[in-house]
């Protein structure tokens, strides 16, 4: 195989298998090439990944070491996308009765959801995430997008138990916005004890739903390593019960009478500093 062909094949392998550690002999056997040639190829691939802002190759020393692709998304590209997202959400036609904001078209757009997954996933790419957890239903597309970027499975918390999922663990929690008691259910087989979890949701107001998920995950002794939301509400009247989270946009003002919405970048910008 020519070097140009080898580079294309190697790049495709890393993009399809993020965060999977492979030894140098693995690639020498795959491409039937000398270690020195493979090492030079890895340097080239790493430079291109970093130049394009899509991550980097991480080298792990030692007998059990090797190289793996850590996916990423450049800060510049992330900020450009967030700015575009803010302008999209500020369209007056999105205001619904009761002051709600229409976002179903965004959550139903595969390209847009994929970009959201890349931006959120890039914030958590260095964390040792085992599984992405979300609550049904609107957060599901975002969870799969982030999980695809991190190359981990998705677990869905539901409001009602499903007979086809076997025995489940359930908790009652108080919704942060409505102050109503609600129920969350998670099948016992869906999550291994002690797993490192990333919680993803589409919208957060007071944070009651995320707090409920955190409490449910505690029943599995899971470690919540990251929390990501597409949009958060900037409401001074609501007491935020979640502190350590990452948001892409902040809905700061919805004026139903004037048909105006103010959408600002979330705390993702500050966290990426």
Based on the number of CB atoms within 10 Å of its own CB, is 268 exposed (0-12), middle (13-18) or buried (19 or more)? buried
* Residue 181: domain span: 75-271
Residues 113 and 89: their CA atoms lie apart, in Å, by 14
User: pLDDT tens-digit profile of 202-232?
Assistant: 999 888 899 999 999 999 999 999 999 999 9
Residues 6 or more apart from 218 whose CB is under 8 A from it? none
224 with 194: CB under 8 angstroms? Answer: no
Residue closest to 139 by CA, chosen among 106, 178, 180: 106
The vertex-142 CA angle with 254 and 55, nearest 5°, equals 115
Q: Which helix (H) or strand (E) holds 215?
A: helix 208-218
CA dihedral (28, 31, 32, 38) positive or negative: negative
User: pLDDT for 138-181, tens place per residue?
Assistant: 899 999 999 999 999 999 999 887 777 888 999 988 775 567 88
| pLDDT tens for each residue of 246-265 | 999 999 888 888 888 999 99
Query: Which one of 17, 48, 71 terminates a domain?
Result: 71
Whether 34 and 121 map to the same domain: the answer is: no
Q: Indicate whether 212 and 146 sit together in one domain.
A: yes
Q: Whole-model pTM?
A: 0.87
Residue 60 sits in the same domain as residue 139: no
Q: Are residues 187 and 255 in the same domain?
A: yes
């Amino acid at each position: 195989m020519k070097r140009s062909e080898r580079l294309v094949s190697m790049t495709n392998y890393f993009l399809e298998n993020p965060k999977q550690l492979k030894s140098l002999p693995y690639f020498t056997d795959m491409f039937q090439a000398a270690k020195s040639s493979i090492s030079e190829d890895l340097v080239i691939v790493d430079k291109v990944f970093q130049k394009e802002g899509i991550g980097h190759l991480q080298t792990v020393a030692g007998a059990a070491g090797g190289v793996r692709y850590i996916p990423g998304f450049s800060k510049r590209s992330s900020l450009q996308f967030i700015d575009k997202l803010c302008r999209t959400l500020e369209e007056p036609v999105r205001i619904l009765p009761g002051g709600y904001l229409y976002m179903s078209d965004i959550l139903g757009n595969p390209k847009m959801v994929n970009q959201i997954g890349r931006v959120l996933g890039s914030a958590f790419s260095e964390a040792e995430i085992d599984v992405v957890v979300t609550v049904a239903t609107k957060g599901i597309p975002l969870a799969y997008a982030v999980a695809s970027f991190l190359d981990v499975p998705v677990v869905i918390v539901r409001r009602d138990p499903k007979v086809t999922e076997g025995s489940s663990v359930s908790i009652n929690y108080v919704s942060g916005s409505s102050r109503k008691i609600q129920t969350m259910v998670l099948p016992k087989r869906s999550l291994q004890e002690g797993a490192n979890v990333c919680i993803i949701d589409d919208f957060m107001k007071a944070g009651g739903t995320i707090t409920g998920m955190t409490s449910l995950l505690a029943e599995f002794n899971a470690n919540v390593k990251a929390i990501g939301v597409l949009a958060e509400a900037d409401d001074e009247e609501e007491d935020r019960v979640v502190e350590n989270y990452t948001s892409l946009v902040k809905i700061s003002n919805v004026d139903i009478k004037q048909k105006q919405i103010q959408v600002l970048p979330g705390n993702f910008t500050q966290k990426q500093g």
